[in-house]
Amino acid sequence: MTKRLLITLLFYCCSISSQAQDLIVTKLGDTIQVKIVELNKLGVNFKKYNKPHGLVYSMHKSRVEFIQYENGTVDSLDNKHRDTPLQTIVGDPYKAGATDAQKYYQGYKSAGTGTLIVGLLSPLGGLIPAIACSSTKPKERNLEYPNPDFMQNPAYADGYRHQAKLTKQGRVWTNWGVAFGVNVLFAFLLLIKH
């Protein structure tokens, strides 16, 4: 009897340790064994359970049904970490897209920073990245929209992309103007010093 209890206890402990991982259950019903790295407003970052020193993967919260942690607790990303409480577009989709772009789009940073740096080195040389960056649309991967399902609505997507491009252009030209102003000030200080 004691031997049987010991074997059962050993089997139970082994089964618990072999299942000590987090699980992501997708809205398509797939279950993925992972180790959660971070939850944020857009979704979840994780490593594959069988590759703990591998790459960090990301999954948007709209694709996740729930997360079950190794301790057994469950989180639903639909109820937690949601910035937009409504899952439907209210009002004019074009305006909703433009408003969301003002709120979420941050993908202009590399274009703005590159323009600023080149502009500080050479104001006229800074015109090249300013013109190039402001004339191109933001890349899809940089749009950072809050809900991929909304982008299926053409009017919402047009509003979001248009506002994102305007935001990018504004930042790029502002940074070029700052660089130009710094160069003018520097030249002025050199002139009055001599």
**pLDDT tens sequence across 59-116:** 888 888 888 877 767 777 764 444 443 346 667 889 888 988 888 888 777 788 888 8
Contact 22, 69 (CB under 8 A): yes
User: Is a pLDDT exceeding 60 seen at residue 5?
Assistant: no
Mean pLDDT of 136-158: 85
Q: Are residues 100 and 55 both part of a single domain?
A: no
Buried b or exposed e, range 151-184, using 16+ CB within 10 angstroms? bebeebbebbbebbbebbbebbbebbbbbbeebe
Report the domain count for the chain.
2
For residue 4, the model assigns a pLDDT of: 53
**Percentage of the chain modeled with pLDDT above 70:** 81
The CATH number assigned to the domain holding 37 equals 2.30.30
For residue 12, the model assigns a pLDDT of: 44
Q: How far apart are the first and last CA of the chain?
A: 100
C-alpha–C-alpha distance, residues 152 and 117, integer Å: 37
Mean pLDDT of 6-19: 45
Residues spanned by the domain of 54 = 19-75
For residue 141, the model assigns a pLDDT of: 83
Residue 20 pLDDT class (50, 70, 90 cuts): low
Nearest to 147, CA basis, from 27, 41, 47, 75: 41
User: Does 1 map to a domain?
Assistant: no
Could you tell me how many residues make up the chain? Answer: 194
**Percentage of the chain modeled with pLDDT above 90:** 10
Most confident of 10-24, 50-64, 157-171: 157-171
pTM of the model: 0.52
Q: Are residues 100 and 23 both part of a single domain?
A: no
Q: Are residues 58 and 101 both part of a single domain?
A: no
C-alpha–C-alpha distance, residues 84 and 14, integer Å: 42
